[in-house]
Chain A
Amino acid sequence: MPLVRMKGITKHFGGIVANKDISVDLIPGEVHALLGENGAGKSTLISILSGMCHPDGGEIHIDGEVARIHSPQDAIARGIGTLYQHFMLWESLTVAENIVLGSEGHAVVLRLQEVVDRINHLSRNYGLNVDPNAYIWQLTVGAQQRVELIRILFHQADIIILDEPTAVLGPQEVGSLGEILKSLAAEGKTILFVTHKLDEVMRFSHQVTVLRDGRNVGTFRTDQVKPEQIAILMVGHQVPSAINTTHPLGPTVLEVSTLSALNARGLPALKQVSFTVRAGEILGVGGVEGNGQEELASIITGLWKSQSGTVTLNGVDITNASPSFIARVMGYIPSDRVGTGLIPRLSLALNTTLRSQARRSGVDRWLLDLKAIRRRAQDLIATYRVHPSDPDLPAHQLSGGNQQRLLIGREVSLDRRLIIAAQPTRGLDIDATYQVHQLFVDLSFKQVAILVVSTDLEELLKICHRILILSRGEIAGTIDPDTTDRTAIGLLLAGQKGDPRAV
């Protein structure tokens, strides 16, 4: 007997049909995976269920009766808890304080000690491993996510919805989140989660629904389908899994030597890090997020300052160079997609001009040449298959995956000899991920040097010539994807604690 029945949910945004007559049933005690290409309508369906937006048609039934969910408060009152991709936590407060603040509006006045006790209780029950007295800034992304989960459980939600929860996690953390979801389901909770990873669907879900172009194209018992079937249903064709990366490498392009830096809190983030990237090489930087990867990318790209050590590009010292200089010499795909890489409220066309000072780009003169800007944007949108393709749309109306295509397309089209890419396929569907991988490999064949920072080790193994594992700001080891065997990689990663910064 389903607890939640979505019947014929339809939602338009202007001319775009985001959800078309979608019906999905969620059964208590089960994990339901929601899958689909970028822009298929997954986030839209979730925001309808969590009261963030109103459907144009269709009904939601909870426990057999029609539920009118007009606001996030309505959703919470109905026992629906949502874990969004962007956490809503105050960094400078403790876990317990955050949870108290999130409870305002609930008639009860909570005493902090009671909250701490309840958090400890929930944490123990579900194996969440959260210290109520830790400050948010001390926690890894994975731990912050578990805090959000605790908050949801704290409000006694029976229905738990998660939008791409694993996108920000490394392999071990994905595994433990999956176990947590399964144990929550075993307790009788109803769980819906979005992912792009087929192996997660197979490992953690009981049922799976595939969306395509806003429609439900199939709901299955997970143990009765094969991942290949789902992939074909989702993107309409097979997605190749292997990429050929072997070709000769050129001279050194980027050289980082004995680089040390502090993070935003003044704690050591990088310690004596040295490596080189050669022309045509794809170098991976992996490891659990929060071990210096972000700082490394920011320093190379001029957005953060190092304490000591040097960075040279083609033999020229660019240590702590200004961002406006860096913008002219390398492409950079930041992990912070909307907020740094793209500006959500500006049009796609203007977003494509952000880093180009090139001639005839439309921004090289005193006055903007809006026609030239639009024309170039249309080319870029077509080449990188951004959808929807109207250059006048504001960037926030694109789905996450399409935003990333626009961003990557812009940086690649700058035609630089070095590209720094942080989490380049986070949130991309399998086909788009493959496209990005293929694009990077093609560029490396053209002797472009690429530095890829990613928490997704599988991704690095697939495309990189070498992989450095950063742990507590130091290079813990180097992996050669062709020769290093899996057990050695396992040992290297196992040497890392899941929560390096947790107290």
Chain B
Amino acid sequence: MLFSFEETSDPKPSLSRRLATLLLSLVFALVIGAVFMLSVGVDPPTTYLTMLSGAFGSSYSLSETLVKATPLSFLALAVLLPSAAQFWNVGAEGQYAMGAFAGTGISLFVAPSLPPGLVIPIMLVAAFAMGAVWGVIPALLKTFFKANEILTTLMMNYIAAYWLDYLVYTAWKDPNGFGFPGTAVFPADAWIPQIFGRMHVGFFLVLALAVVIWVVMGRSRFGFELKVMRESLKSAYYSGFPVARNIVIAMVVSGGAAALAGLFEIAGIDHRLQAGFLMKYGFTALIIAWMARLNPLAVIPVAILYAGLSTGADQLQLSMGLPSSIATVLMGIILVVILGSQVLQRYRVTLTVGGKLWTLPS
């Protein structure tokens, strides 16, 4: 028995073929998930239905799903833009944290002396700038000292995380908070308006950002230069592209976007910064970006799907008393199947058994 892989001659599979593989692999993943559920003694149809209604079944659950999808989308976009130039930003988590830090600082210490209408714009600007700084540091370390960005961005996550801990446990801890680790509640001027349930304007902003990044990556000269940098750095230098500047710009936008997610979480949802704020969204976002095949538009539905699985899992716990880790397993299965299906899009796989050939896709 022998597998052989031949690269298909068309480098870009058609949209219909991509959608078909995606759908097929989703169905395939659900079937494997059902087998898994049977093996742990759970009834697959009821479980799937409970999750579905828990995620999208009511306006409450739908808004909760979108609330979760918003930061995930921001962070996935933050991963994806620099990756277009093969710069791997594993530091979205830290940039997210620093956005929350900047927003908290403004709302606690500067907002009282600002005219009410200016508070939120200034918070947005401050958060973006803080995240941009956090993102640019690894970009500079890479261009000047050739420091590997995966390591530097990863390590800066820890700095950001401990910095937030220091703030909520010590420096900015609410003196009237009965000892709970967290800041005081923000003044009302610093609350970003909620629109639909707890869903706030951040969701629309991330939709717009996805479209902008899609246009930039697909149609702009900057996006083209990033693409050349990804394909071959040698070519980029040879072509006279400003390689270092492009990485810096990409990381400014990337860090800024991640920081906005952090800001929206505290100013739109929590209205304070508290311990346990960091949920490892930065890493989930990496998975989402990859499942979306680094396509900015695809990020949104993938993030909603992911968020839906996790709100659905909460429902499992509430109404069926099942561990929410079932959903984590399901997510893992979906991920592996989808990533695996990409092989079928790029290669024609031939299986030879005793002189007989099977070819996929035929």
- Pick the residue among B2, B232, B350 that contacts A340 (CB under 8 A): B232
> Which of A53, A303, A368 lies in contact with B237, CB distance below 8 A?
A303
Whether A70 lies near B227 (C-beta < 8 A) is no
| Interface contact B4-A14, CB-CB below 8 Å | no
Which residues of chain B are near A54, meaning CB under 8 Å? 6
**Binary flags per residue of A328-339, CB closer than 8 Å to B gives 1, else 0:** 100010101001
1/0 contact string of B215-234 vs chain A (CB within 8 Å): 00001111010011001101
Q: Smallest CB–CB gap between A279 and chain B, Å?
A: 23
Contact with A along B1-36 (1 / 0, CB 8 A): 010101001110000000000000000000000000
Binds A, one of B159-167, B239-247, B254-262, B318-326: B239-247
The CA of A324 and the CA of B2, in the complex, are separated in Å by 49
User: Is B178 part of the binding interface, using a Cβ–Cβ cutoff of 8 Å?
Assistant: no
Asked whether any CB of chain B lies closer than 8 Å to the CB of A466, the reply is no
Say if the beta carbon of A316 comes within 8 Å of chain B.
no
Task: State whether B235 touches A14 (Cβ < 8 A).
Answer: no
* Chain A 389-410 near chain B by CB (<8 Å), digits 1 or 0: 0000010010000000000000
Q: Considering the chains assembled together, what is the distance between the CA atoms of A322 and B244 in angstroms?
A: 12
B352 near A: Cβ within 8 Å?
Answer: yes
Whole-angstrom distance between the Cβ of B138 and the nearest chain A Cβ? 23
Asked if residues B2 and A339 are in contact (CB atoms below 8 Å), the reply is no
Q: Is the CB of A323 within 8 A of B237?
A: yes
Measured CA separation A340–B239 after assembly (Å): 9
Cβ contact of A327, chosen from B2, B9, B239, B352, cutoff 8 A:
B239
A261 CB → nearest B CB, Å: 17
Distance in angstroms from B265 CB to nearest chain A CB is 32
Chain B residue contacts of A355, Cβ below 8 A: 238-240
Cβ contact within 8 Å between B238 and A303: yes
Most chain A CB within a 10 A radius of its CB, from B238, B242, B352 = B238
- Bound: A371/B2 CA distance, A: 46
- The distance in angstroms between the C-alpha atoms of A397 and B10, with both chains bound, is 10
Contact stretch, chosen from A187-195, A341-349, A467-475, A476-484: A341-349
B221 touches A334 (CB 8 A): no
Contact between A345 and B11 (Cβ–Cβ < 8 Å)?
yes
Q: Which residues of A lie under 8 Å from residue B222 when comparing CB positions?
A: 366
Q: What's the minimum C-beta distance from A57 to chain B, rounded to whole angstroms?
A: 15
Q: How far is the CB of B360 from the nearest CB of chain A, in Å? A: 15
The 9 closest A-B CB pairs, nearest first, are: A327-B240, A324-B240, A354-B239, A340-B234, A343-B231, A323-B237, A71-B4, A355-B239, A340-B238
User: B10: nearest residue on chain A (CB-CB)?
Assistant: A14
Assess whether A363 is interfacial by the CB under 8 Å rule: yes
Query: When each residue 307-336 of chain A gets 1 if its CB lies under 8 Å from chain B and 0 otherwise, what string results?
Result: 000000000000000111111100010101
Given contacts A301-B238, A342-B235, 4 further A-B contacts (CB under 8 A): A346-B228, A355-B239, A366-B222, A370-B219
Cβ-defined partner of A343 (8 Å) among B232, B240, B350: B232
**A360-399: which have CB < 8 Å to B?**
363, 365-368, 370, 394, 397
Q: How far is the CB of A68 from the nearest CB of chain B, in Å?
A: 8
What are 15 pairs between A and B in contact, CB < 8 Å? A14-B9, A54-B6, A303-B234, A322-B240, A324-B241, A325-B240, A327-B238, A328-B240, A339-B235, A340-B235, A343-B228, A346-B227, A346-B231, A354-B239, A363-B221
**Closest chain B residue to A328 by CB distance?**
B240
Residues of chain B lying within 8 A (CB to CB) of residue A324: 240-242
Please determine whether A70 and B350 come into contact, CB atoms closer than 8 angstroms. Answer: yes
Q: Which residues of A contact B227 (CB under 8 A)?
A: 346
A328 to B241, CA, bound (A): 11
Bound complex: CA A264 to CA B221 (Å): 32
CB distance from B231 to the nearest CB of A (A): 5
Separation of A400 and B234 alpha carbons in the complex (Å):
19
A368 and B220 within 8 A (CB): yes
Instruction: Give the contacting residue for A367; candidates B9, B221, B232, B237; CB below 8 A.
Output: B221
The residues of A that contact B2 with a CB separation of less than 8 Å are: 70-71
Closest chain B residue to A340, Cβ basis: B234
Contacts of B224 in A (CB 8 A): 350, 353, 363, 368
Q: Please, how many residues of chain A have a CB less than 8 angstroms from a CB on the other chain?
A: 40
Q: Is there a chain B Cβ closer than 8 Å to A357's Cβ? A: yes
Q: How far is the CB of B202 from chain A (nearest CB, A)?
A: 27
- Contact between A343 and B235, CB atoms less than 8 A apart: yes
Is there contact, CB below 8 Å, between B240 and A357? yes
Shortest CB distance A245–B (Å): 29
Q: Which residue of A lies closest to B239 (CB)?
A: A354
Q: Give chain A residues whose Cβ lies under 8 Å from the Cβ of B6.
A: 53-54
The verdict on A354 contacting B235 (CB below 8 Å), with A343-B228, A345-B11, A368-B221 known, is yes
Contacts of B10 in A (CB 8 A): 14
> What is the bound-complex CA distance between A54 and B359, given in angstroms?
12
- C-beta contact mask, A57-72 vs B, less than 8 Å → 1, else 0? 0000000000010110
Task: Give chain B nearest CB distance to A18 CB in angstroms.
Answer: 11
- The 8 Å CB contact of B232, one of A70, A303, A339, A353, is A339
- B window 283-329: CB within 8 A of A: none
| Interface bits A78-104 vs B (CB < 8 Å: 1, else 0) | 000000000000000000000000000
Whole-angstrom distance between the Cβ of A132 and the nearest chain B Cβ: 32
CB distance from B350 to the nearest CB of A (A): 7
Q: Complex Cα distance A346/B223, Å?
A: 13
CB proximity of A327 to chain B, nearest CB, Å: 3
Q: Output the least CB separation between A448 and chain B (Å).
A: 20
The residue of chain B having its C-beta at the shortest distance from the C-beta of A71 within the complex is B4
Which residues of chain A are near B221, meaning CB under 8 Å? 363, 365-368
Closest A residue, CB atoms, query B215: A367
Chain A residues 234-279 with CB under 8 Å of chain B are: none
B228, A354: Cβ atoms closer than 8 Å = yes
Pick the residue among A323, A350, A394 that contacts B238 (CB under 8 A): A323
Q: Inside 8 A of B238's CB, which chain A residues have their CB? A: 301, 303, 323, 327, 332, 334, 340-341, 354-355
Judging by beta carbons under 8 Å apart, are B240 and A339 in contact?
no
Q: Closest Cβ of chain A: how far from B5's Cβ, in Å?
A: 9
Q: How far is the CB of B246 from chain A (nearest CB, A)?
A: 11
Least CB distance, A425 to chain B, in whole angstroms: 20
Q: Which residues of B contact A325 (CB under 8 A)?
A: 240
With beta carbons under 8 angstroms apart, the residue of A326, A334, A350, A367 that contacts B240 is: A326
Q: Are A345 and B4 in contact (CB under 8 A)?
A: no
CA distance A497 to B11 in the complex (A): 45
Residues of A within 8 A of B11 (CB): 345, 394
Q: How far is the CA of A430 from the CA of B11 in the complex (A)?
A: 31
A70/B237 in contact, CB under 8 A = no
